[in-house]
């Protein structure tokens, strides 16, 4: 299931080798007696948040880092950002060990977490930006040039003058992203940057990320539960589940490998009342439109039959939604584990 792209092998700026993070969790039963006993004899359990993860990412890539809640995505990004020290394995980003927290490294990376704020709540964002300018030692001409660019791309002219508490979630997220990019980082870790935003705000953030990457050749790792983000920005995806790497390769390859079905969307030139169940699973059908799910290998044959049997004005064959493909990856891994456990019994 694992494949490494040629681009990631050349000019690699992020390199992970068997990166592992294990937490020791204290456990006890309910009740007073258990609480007293735990004072003298604590029961612990090892939880592997990230387990022997290895991959490389090349300069200028936008890579989707995907997985369900608890998969280990945020833990991995925190280790790459220097917030956590790994239990074992190694990470190299721009020639630095991130957890060494070298100032030269911190000046070249940025971490955006959709559920965390860096802006001071009661003052305008522009004041926080000035604080960041001093912290990062950004020359004033460069700071102003970068700020003007970010204000233009994200339409922030009026927003950065308002107290942060008066901004909507979408407005605040745009200001947050601008704030962490003022020092022009070469590496950007985006952890759910569009979480909770409406469709319009999500689109604005996606468009900005694409333009910023094209202009500055920044290397970007993106986690998101909104698959529209991944489809719009990422040619390559890394899939992680229960701390382990499941897939590393092109998004199209992931779809091709795990998408066992396709959907055929049909527009009729005249009303059609006949059910299409004989052709496949009917997802939806009206007199003028229908969507049918069929197996991938049957798609050409079924499409030909529909064209011959009905007055079709338009017909498209589509891959399933990426959410469905990712879910199939996880389900396949869980089934493999169950079979392995049953085989040992």
DSSP 190-246: EESTTTT--HHHHHHHHHHHHHHHHHH--EEEEE-S-HHHHHHH-SEEEEEETTEEE
Strands 281-285 vs 187-191: parallel, antiparallel or unpaired? unpaired
Mean pLDDT over 101-105 rounds to: 95
**pLDDT score for 42:** 84
> Distance between CA atoms of 280 and 292, rounded to whole angstroms?
6
Q: How confident is the model at residue 189 (pLDDT cuts 50, 70, 90)?
A: very high
Q: Is residue 33 domain-resident?
A: no
Would the pLDDT of 123 be above 80?
yes
Q: Which of 254-258, 326-330, 339-343 has the lowest mean pLDDT?
A: 339-343
User: Do 74 and 90 sit in the same domain of this protein?
Assistant: yes
User: Do 200 and 281 sit in the same domain of this protein?
Assistant: no
User: Do 121 and 180 sit in the same domain of this protein?
Assistant: yes
Domain containing 59 equals 6-15+51-255
How many CA within 13 A on the CB side of residue 6? 0
**pLDDT score for 345:** 52
Coarse DSSP helix, strand, coil percentages of the chain, rounded to the nearest 5 percent: 40, 30, 30
**pLDDT score for 7:** 47
Question: What are the distances in angstroms from CA 91 to CA 106, 134, 193, 217, 221?
Answer: 15, 29, 23, 21, 15
> Distance between CA atoms of 269 and 288, rounded to whole angstroms?
7
Q: How confident is the model at residue 10 (pLDDT cuts 50, 70, 90)?
A: low
More confident residue, 147 or 27: 147
User: Do 218 and 235 sit in the same domain of this protein?
Assistant: yes
User: Do 225 and 81 sit in the same domain of this protein?
Assistant: yes
Q: How many domains does the chain divide into?
A: 2
**pLDDT > 70: percent of the chain:** 93
> For residues 221 and 63, is the Cβ–Cβ distance under 8 A?
yes
Q: How confident is the model at residue 341 (pLDDT cuts 50, 70, 90)?
A: very low
Q: What's the start-to-end Cα distance of the chain, in Å?
A: 26
User: Do 212 and 298 sit in the same domain of this protein?
Assistant: no
Residue at a domain's end among 235, 255, 275 = 255
Would the pLDDT of 3 be above 70?
no
Q: How many residues does the chain have?
A: 345
**pLDDT > 90: percent of the chain:** 71
User: Do 182 and 278 sit in the same domain of this protein?
Assistant: no
Mean pLDDT over 54-75 rounds to: 94
Tokens of 272: 């059609």
**pLDDT score for 198:** 87
Would the pLDDT of 332 be above 90?
no
> Distance between CA atoms of 78 and 72, rounded to whole angstroms?
10
Q: Is residue 238 domain-resident?
A: yes
More confident residue, 104 or 29: 104
Mean pLDDT over 89-99 rounds to: 96
Residue at a domain's end among 255, 280, 302 = 255
Residue at a domain's end among 255, 277, 305 = 255
Question: What are the distances in angstroms from CA 81 to CA 74, 182, 323?
Answer: 10, 17, 27
Mean pLDDT score of the chain, rounded to an integer? 90
Q: Which of 12-21, 232-241, 247-256 has the lowest mean pLDDT?
A: 247-256
Tokens of 127: 């004041």
The DSSP code for 280 is: S
Would the pLDDT of 190 be above 90?
yes
User: How is the beta sheet containing 312-318 ordered, strand by strand?
Assistant: 281-285, 289-295, 261-268, 312-318
Alpha helix locations (H) across 48-122? 73-80, 103-106
More confident residue, 141 or 262: 141
Q: Is residue 37 domain-resident?
A: no
The three-class DSSP label of residue 295 is strand
**pLDDT score for 339:** 45
Mean pLDDT over 265-277 rounds to: 94
């Amino acid at each position: 299931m694992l494949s490494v792209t040629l681009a990631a092998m050349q000019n690699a700026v992020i390199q992970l080798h068997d990166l592992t993070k294990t937490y020791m969790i204290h456990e006890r039963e309910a009740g007073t007696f258990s609480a007293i006993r735990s004072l003298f004899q604590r029961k612990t359990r090892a939880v592997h948040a990230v387990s022997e993860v290895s991959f490389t990412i090349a300069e200028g890539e936008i890579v989707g880092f995907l997985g369900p809640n608890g998969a280990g995505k945020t833990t991995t990004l925190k280790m790459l950002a220097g917030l956590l020290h790994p239990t074992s394995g190694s990470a190299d980003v721009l020639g630095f060990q991130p957890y060494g927290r070298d100032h030269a490294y911190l000046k070249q990376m940025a971490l955006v977490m959709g559920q965390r704020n860096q802006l001071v709540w009661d003052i305008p964002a522009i004041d926080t930006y000035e604080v960041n300018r001093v912290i990062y030692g950004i020359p004033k001409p460069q700071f102003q040039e970068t700020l003007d660019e970010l204000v233009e791309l994200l339409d922030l002219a009026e927003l950065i003058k308002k107290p942060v508490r008066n901004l909507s979630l979408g407005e605040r997220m745009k200001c947050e992203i601008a704030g962490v990019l003022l020092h022009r980082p070469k590496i950007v870790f985006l952890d759910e940057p569009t979480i909770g935003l409406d469709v319009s705000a999500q689109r604005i953030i996606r468009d900005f990320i694409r333009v910023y990457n094209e202009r500055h050749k920044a290397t970007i790792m993106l986690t998101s539960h909104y698959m529209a983000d991944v489809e719009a920005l990422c040619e390559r995806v890394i899939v992680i589940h229960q701390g382990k790497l499941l897939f590393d390769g092109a998004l199209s390859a992931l779809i091709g490998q795990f998408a066992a079905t396709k959907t055929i969307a049909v527009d009729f030139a005249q009303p059609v009342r006949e059910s299409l169940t004989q052709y496949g699973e009917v997802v939806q059908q009206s007199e003028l439109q229908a969507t049918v799910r069929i197996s991938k290998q049957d798609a050409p044959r079924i499409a030909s039959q529909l064209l011959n049997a009905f007055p079709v004005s338009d017909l498209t064959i589509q891959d399933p939604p990426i959410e469905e493909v990712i879910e199939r990856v996880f389900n396949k891994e869980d089934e493999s584990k169950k079979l392995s456990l049953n085989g040992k019994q």
